[in-house]
Amino acid sequence: MAGENKVLAEKILEKLGGPDNVDNYYHCMTRLRIKPKDESIVDKAGIKKIDGVMGLVEADTLQIIIGPGKVNKVTDEFGQLVDASGGLNLKEKAAETKAEINKKNATPFKLFLRKISSIFIPLIPALVASGLITGISKAVIQAGWLAADSQLAVILTVIGGGLFGYLGIIVGINAAKEFGGSPALGALAGILILNPAVSTIELFGNALVPGRGGLIGTLFAAIFIAMVEKRVRKYVPQSLDIIVTPTVALLVTGIVTYLVFMPIGGFISDIITQGLTALLNAGGIVSGFVLGATFLPLVVTGLHQGLTPVHLELINRLGDDPLLPILAMGGAGQVGAAFAIYFKTKKKGLKRAIGGGLPSGILGIGEPLIFGVTLPLGRPFLTACLGAGVGGAFQAAFHVATLAIGVSGLPLAFLVKAGGVLPYLLGVLIAYAAGFAFTYLFGFKDDMAGEFD
């Protein structure tokens, strides 16, 4: 297997124009992200045809879709090949960064969204682990297999729920770091909001509520403390910096947080939670269909990452998240469409691409199928969206909600609150069936798959 990963890394590096053309690289859950020095010499069509590559996305970086688990190993091999050639020229990279960054995504909204994504994407493994432990332990207790007051149940609850109690601190660390501040001060920004002693503060005749403002207030406070820190540091002598800068930054941020960020964050949280619940209650299955059908286009643009704080805020305010099961149907519609194409096509290359992406899709990671199969084919992407809409309508009709966030697909069933597991799984199957039917009947003809020969 190690040799296979090395061969794949070598082929990718060759199509990129060799190690000298690699300016920077890293990986996420499914993609090897590379910033080439000269994009014009990259053989993009050749990369797409490499056996083991599920797709290529062109954004601020070249994003080569390899799949979960495997991408980590291929990136390690890729890094060893680059290092063996002398590594990256860091001085040259630093000189060119300002001129080339955000070449294609320079709008303020996209830049801000990218920073928000950078705050929450590193949290995904922790959210998945905590969410699964929480969901499984609740399911076992509710099934009567484990007494709620038993020591084992208590231990599982503490292990699974710890992250959600202190998530604001971790978000504060990541936010401050992303906006150029000290991670420790970002942690303090989160503590300012979470600290139980906040309840002893009275402003304008009202006692403050610990946690009011949630993650949105935390983001405001952490970004603000980073900005104050950088601004103060410009005017403080270096010999006094370690004393004066963090002290002033914390003091100013604390006052502004209690006067401004907590009330505003709470107001925005109210709008988000009340707005979404009102939309689902009033629109019912129509709202579920629209939300489910429009999620895959958000994934393509990357805007879906901006929804992470929304999901977390819903859980924080409502105790559960009715939005995630609906959006999870996007991946299910995609799986159904992929099955339809697999049974209808005679192209071996297309069958291989689907076979490589289906396991990930069933487990809730839809990018290999989106960028490797349905989106390049065109019409199947639209029929997959329709299938997702049908599944979303079903989830909305039965008011399915999750207790935590994590990967979608079948594993999300472990996070669904009591009474909703069976409807959720039925909704997944319905989205599979709808995506299959729409694609098989209207979305795919074999002559559309020329590039998969």
For the annotated catalytic residues, the residue numbers are 28
- In 271-322, beta strands by DSSP E: none
Q: Which helix (H) or strand (E) holds 404?
A: none
b/e per residue, 1-29, with b = 16+ CB within 10 A?
Answer: eeeebbebbebbbebbbebeebbebebbb
- For residue 318, give both structure tokens: 């409502």
- Token pair of 187, please? 């942690």
Residues 6+ apart with CB under 8 A from 277: 318, 322
CB contact at 8 A, 372 and 292: no
Tell me the CA end-to-end span of the chain in Å, nearest whole number.
26
Give the closest residue to 379 by CA, choosing from 290, 439, 449.
439
Q: How far is CA 9 from CA 52, 66, 81, 90, in A?
A: 10, 11, 8, 22
In our burial notation (b when 16+ CB lie closer than 10 A, e otherwise), range 391-405 reads bbbbbbebbbbbbbb
Q: Give which of 217, 233, 143, 220 is closest to 179, Cα–Cα.
A: 220
Length of the chain: 453
Q: What is the DSSP letter of 417?
A: P
* DSSP string for 206-275: EE--TTTTHHHHHHHHHHHHHHHHHHHHTTS-GGGHHHHHHHHHHHHHHHHIIIIIHHHHHHHHHHHHHH
Exposed/middle/buried for residue 302 (C-beta within 10 Å: 0-12, 13-18, 19+):
middle
Dist CA 194 CA 192 (whole Å):
6
Residues 6+ apart with CB under 8 A from 198: 192, 208, 209, 210, 212, 258
